[in-house]
C-alpha cells in the first residue's frame, strides 16, 4: 500500500549536545569538561506516526518538545538513531523562520535560491515564477533589489513562504512562519495553504495558535518531551495543548 | 530530489563567488592584490639578503600563490557550516556539498588568478616547457589536501567556535615556517625539523620544481605529499562523519 505520505516506525532521534554550555576550546579546557565534552540528548523517543496523502496535520506542543526535530527528520535533514522513516512524496524546503536565506544577497537572489531548492526552477519559467513570488509576497522590485539583511522579519517570512507556495508542493511543512507576517498576509497564507490541501497536498503545520490550527487542520498531534501524547481530532488536540499550560 | 542536486551545487558555487566579490569595486582583482602586495614587500626588503637565490621574485611568487590558496581555502572551510547554517537547517542537501562548493569557488578564483600571474612569472624567468603541465596534478592533490584540513576545522568549529580564531592566529606561524621568502637551508639545523613537520614545506617543494625550476616534481616529495594528503583526507572524513549529524543542534 502506497497511500501514506509519511510513515515513521519506532523512530528515535538524538544528537550530541555540549555539556555545561561549552562552545569554545577555551571553555573546554578551563571547565575541564574534556572527560565528558558532549552528552547524547534524545529529542524524539520511539515515535510511531502515519500520515496519509492529502492529510492536513497540526503539530502542537510547548517550545523544545521536538516539533522542529520531527519536521527535520521527516525532511531527511536529520537522521534517526533507530527506526524507519518512509516518505513517499517529494519534500519541499522546510518553512521555518530565516531558513535558506542569504542575508548578503538581494531579495531576487534569495527567491532564486528558494525556487531551485524546491526543484521547480528552470531557465524557461524563471521570469514568470519570480514575478509570481514577488506578487504573492507583495514586495516591490525596488525592495527585492535590496540585500535581505535590510528586510524586516515579516518581509523575510513573506519571501520564503511565497517562494515555496508559488507552485503546488506535494508535502508542505510549515514551522511557525506565519506568526511574523501581518494580519492581512496571515489570512492570505491560510487561504493559499487551504488551496494547496484541496489540490491534494499533505500538510504538517506547526503553530502556537490553536485557532489557526483548527482553521486549517482536521487532525492534531500533541508532542511533549519528544513523545506523542495525543493523536486525533484537532479540537480535542487543541484542548490537550491548552491543558498543558492551564493545570 | 536527485535531478536538481547538480544545479543546486552550481548555484551554491555561483552564490559563493558572488558573495565574495559583492560590494567590492574591484571585485576579482582584490584576490590578486593579496599575493601581489606581499610579493612587492618581499622583493623590496629581501632581494639583497637573498642574492644567492636566482630569480628571487619568481621564487617568492610561486610560493606565495600557493600559500594564499591554502590560507584562504582553509579559513573559508573553517566557517563554512556556520555560514550555511540556515540552509543546513532547512534542506536535506548532503553537508559535504557546502564544503565542496565553498572550496570550489575558491579554486575557481585561484585558477583565474593563476593566469595573470603565469604571465608575470614568464617575465620573471619561468621557462615555457611541457613540464609546466605537471602543475595540474600538483594543484589537484593540493586542493584535496586543503579540503581535508578544511573539513576537520569546519567540523570542529561547529562545536568550538574559537577554532576559527585559533586557526587565523596560526596562519602567520605556518606562513613563516614555510619556505616562501627564504630557502630552508638558512634555518639552523636544530630547528629544521619544525619546517619538515610543516606539510606545506613538502608541497612547496613540488610546486617549485614545476614553477621555479621548470622540471617534473621530484618523486620523493610527491610521495610524501600524497601520503600527507591521504592521511589528512581519511582523518577529515572520519571527524566529519562522526560529527555531521550533530551539526544542526549546535548551529
Beta-carbon neighbour count of residue B133 at 10 Å?
10
For A203-229, the pLDDT digits (tens) are 999 888 888 889 889 999 999 999 999
Minimum CA–CA partner of A121 in chain B: B4
Per-residue confidence (pLDDT) for residue A12, from 0 to 100: 92
Q: How confident is the model at residue A231 (pLDDT cuts 50, 70, 90)?
A: very high
Residue A145 has pLDDT above 70, yes or no: yes
Provide the 8-state DSSP code for A206: E
For B33-70, the pLDDT digits (tens) are 888 888 888 888 888 888 888 888 889 999 999 999 99
Per-residue confidence (pLDDT) for residue B20, from 0 to 100: 61
For A30-65, the pLDDT digits (tens) are 665 555 667 788 889 999 999 999 899 999 988 888
Residue by residue, DSSP assigns B134-161 as GHHHHHHHHHHHHHHHHHHHHHHHHH-T
**What are the pLDDT tens digits along chain B (251 aa)?**
444 556 666 666 666 666 666 555 556 677 788 888 888 888 888 888 888 888 888 899 999 999 999 999 999 999 999 988 877 887 777 888 889 888 988 898 899 888 888 888 888 888 888 999 999 999 999 999 999 999 999 999 998 888 999 999 999 999 988 999 888 888 888 888 888 899 999 999 999 999 999 999 999 999 999 999 999 999 999 999 988 888 887 87
Mean pLDDT of A171-181: 81
Measured CA to CA in angstroms, residue A105 lies from A125, A155, B17, B21, B27 at distances of: 21, 15, 12, 11, 15
Give the gap in angstroms from C-alpha A239 to the nearest C-alpha of chain B. Answer: 30
**SS3 annotation, A10-32:** EEEEEEEEEHHHCCCHHHHHHCC
Minimum CA–CA partner of A26 in chain B: B162
Q: Look at the alpha carbons of A19, A222, A54, A83 in this order and tell me if their dihedral is positive or negative.
A: positive
Distance in angstroms (rounded) separating the CA atoms of residues B191 and A83: 56
- In this prediction the pTM is 0.83
* A interface residues, B as partner, C-beta within 8 Å: 15-18, 22-26, 28, 38, 41, 72, 75-79, 90-91, 93-96, 98-102, 104-105, 109, 112-113, 116-117, 119, 121
Q: How confident is the model at residue A90 (pLDDT cuts 50, 70, 90)?
A: confident
ipTM of the complex: 0.74
Q: Smallest Cβ distance to B22: which of A76, A104, A116?
A: A104
Amino acid at each position: 500500500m502506497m497511500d501514506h505520505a509519511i510513515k515513521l516506525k519506532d523512530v528515535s532521534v538524538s544528537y550530541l549536545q555540549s555539556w555545561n554550555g561549552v562552545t569554545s576550546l577555551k571553555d573546554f579546557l578551563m571547565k575541564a569538561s574534556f572527560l565528558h565534552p558532549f552528552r547524547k540528548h534524545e529529542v524524539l523517543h520511539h515515535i510511531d506516526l502515519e500520515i496519509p496523502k492529502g492529510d492536513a496535520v497540526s503539530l502542537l506542543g510547548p517550545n523544545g518538545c521536538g516539533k522542529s526535530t520531527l519536521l527535520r527528520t521527516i525532511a531527511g535533514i536529520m537522521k534517526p538513531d533507530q527506526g524507519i522513516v518512509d516518505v513517499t512524496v517529494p519534500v519541499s524546503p522546510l518553512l521555518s523562520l530565516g531558513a535558506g536565506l542569504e542575508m548578503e544577497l538581494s531579495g531576487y537572489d534569495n527567491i532564486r535560491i528558494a525556487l531551485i531548492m524546491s526543484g521547480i526552477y528552470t531557465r524557461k519559467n524563471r521570469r514568470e515564477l519570480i514575478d509570481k513570488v514577488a506578487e504573492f509576497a507583495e514586495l516591490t522590485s525596488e525592495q527585492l533589489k535590496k540585500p535581505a539583511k535590510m528586510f524586516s522579519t515579516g518581509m523575510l517570512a513573506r519571501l520564503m513562504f511565497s517562494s515555496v507556495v508559488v507552485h503546488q508542493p506535494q508535502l508542505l511543512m510549515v514551522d511557525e512562519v506565519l506568526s511574523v507576517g501581518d494580519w492581512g498576509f496571515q489570512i492570505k497564507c491560510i487561504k493559499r495553504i487551504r488551496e494547496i490541501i484541496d489540490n491534494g497536498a499533505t500538510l504538517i503545520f506547526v503553530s502556537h495558535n490553536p485557532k489557526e490550527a483548527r482553521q486549517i487542520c482536521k487532525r492534531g498531534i500533541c508532542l511533549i518531551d519528544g513523545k506523542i501524547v495525543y493523536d486525533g481530532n484537532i479540537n480535542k488536540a487543541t484542548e490537550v495543548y491548552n491543558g498543558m499550560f492551564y493545570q | 530530489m536527485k535531478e536538481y542536486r547538480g544545479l543546486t551545487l552550481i548555484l551554491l558555487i555561483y552564490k559563493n563567488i558572488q558573495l565574495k566579490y559583492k560590494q567590492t569595486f574591484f571585485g576579482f582583482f582584490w584576490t590578486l592584490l593579496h599575493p601581489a602586495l606581499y610579493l612587492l614587500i618581499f622583493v623590496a626588503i629581501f632581494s639583497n639578503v637573498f642574492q644567492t637565490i636566482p630569480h628571487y621574485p619568481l621564487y617568492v611568487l610561486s610560493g606565495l600563490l600557493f600559500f594564499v590558496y591554502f590560507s584562504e581555502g582553509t579559513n573559508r572551510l573553517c566557517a563554512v557550516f556556520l555560514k550555511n547554517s540556515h540552509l543546513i537547517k532547512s534542506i536535506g542537501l548532503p553537508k559535504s556539498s557546502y564544503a565542496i562548493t565553498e572550496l570550489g569557488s575558491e579554486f575557481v578564483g585561484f585558477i583565474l588568478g593563476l593566469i595573470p600571474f603565469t604571465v608575470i612569472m614568464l617575465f620573471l624567468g619561468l621557462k615555457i616547457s611541457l613540464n609546466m603541465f605537471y602543475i595540474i596534478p600538483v594543484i589537484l592533490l593540493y586542493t584535496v589536501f586543503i579540503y581535508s584540513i578544511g573539513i576537520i576545522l569546519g567540523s570542529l568549529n561547529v562545536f568550538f567556535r574559537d577554532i576559527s580564531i585559533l586557526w587565523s592566529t596560526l596562519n602567520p606561524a605556518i606562513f613563516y615556517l614555510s619556505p616562501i621568502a627564504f630557502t630552508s637551508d638558512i634555518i639552523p639545523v636544530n630547528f629544521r625539523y619544525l619546517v619538515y613537520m610543516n606539510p606545506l614545506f613538502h608541497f612547496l617543494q613540488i610546486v617549485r620544481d614545476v614553477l621555479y625550476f621548470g622540471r617534473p616534481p621530484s618523486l620523493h616529495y610527491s610521495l610524501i605529499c600524497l601520503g600527507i594528503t591521504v592521511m589528512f583526507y581519511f582523518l577529515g572524513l572520519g571527524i566529519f562523519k562522526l560529527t555531521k549529524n550533530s551539526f544542526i543542534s549546535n548551529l
